[in-house]
Amino acid sequence: MTIDIFREFGDSVESDSEDEFLLRQIDPTRLPTHIAIIMDGNGRWAARRNQPRVSGHRAGAEAVRATVETAARLGISYLTLYAFSTENWKRPRLEVDALMGLLREFLRKEIRSLKRNNIRFQTIGRERGLETSVSREIDRARKETANNNGMVLTVALNYSGRSEIAEACRTLAVEFLAQGRDPAEISEGDIERHLFTRDLPDPDLLVRTSGEMRVSNFLLWQIAYSEIYVTDILWPDFRRINLFEAILGYQKRERRYGDVKPAPNGSLIAANVK
């Protein structure tokens, strides 16, 4: 399996480089199935260079490209990126317009790469709140990659974790009442089937860049048992080596979901609730 991983990266990993050192440590049998990433730090990246915030967002697009390619080559099944929250509409109009323009540009440029790498593209969030031109590019990318059966790339746009849960509960309450059922019987499984992510497994690994220790209203239901990895790297500087580090950090952890693990002497050791 390790040989297969190296074959996927070909000559792009130089011998005796730090990339190679880290890649050799990754256990291909214990890769996270689903990685979710909070892409943070574009504004600070630009500020440190005395550049406008939009320059940080443009540089962040390069990080997206590198991360998607790396995840696909590693054989990650699902990658979800937090691109634009419902709260982001509060930003200056010029910045919001620039973000939407970058999204359109990214989709137009990357559609061939997505198809070539067998990646299926989709979004989660309230698409109806986006500009028509953005929705058009999203729909095109979704249709042109619909038959791909490799990694599923999900981009969260106009997304709010709280709103997602509230909307699922409202929909379920209406359905239960229409069917003469007691809403008090709504189960966790019912809610999960009405989330935007109903066709996705919960993330195994949540990565946040820029060192901030918060989840920012992202996949609040779905990350209940996710391993969280925070790096001080600002998103525009995030590259292949940083994803390797996150995966290695994940593989060093023991996932017990609040269970207990027998100690060597037969006693039980309380597991950390995760």
So which residues are the catalytic ones?
40, 88
Task: Give the integer Cα–Cα distance in Å for 134 and 127.
Answer: 9
Does residue 63 contact residue 237 with C-beta atoms inside 8 Å?
A: yes
Token representation of residue 226 = 């996710």
Which amino acid is it at 78? Answer: Y
DSSP string, 10-61: GGGS-TTSHHHHHHHH--GGG--SEEEEE---HHHHHHTTT--HHHHHHHHH
Strands (E), the chain: 34-38, 78-85, 120-124, 152-159, 205-208, 227-230, 260-262, 268-270
The secondary structure of residue 266, as a DSSP letter, is S
Which residues on adjacent β-strands are paired with residue 36? 80, 206
Token representation of residue 171 = 């929909």
Task: Give the integer Cα–Cα distance in Å for 23 and 236.
Answer: 21
Residues with Cβ within 8 Å of residue 113, at least 6 apart in sequence: 65, 69, 119
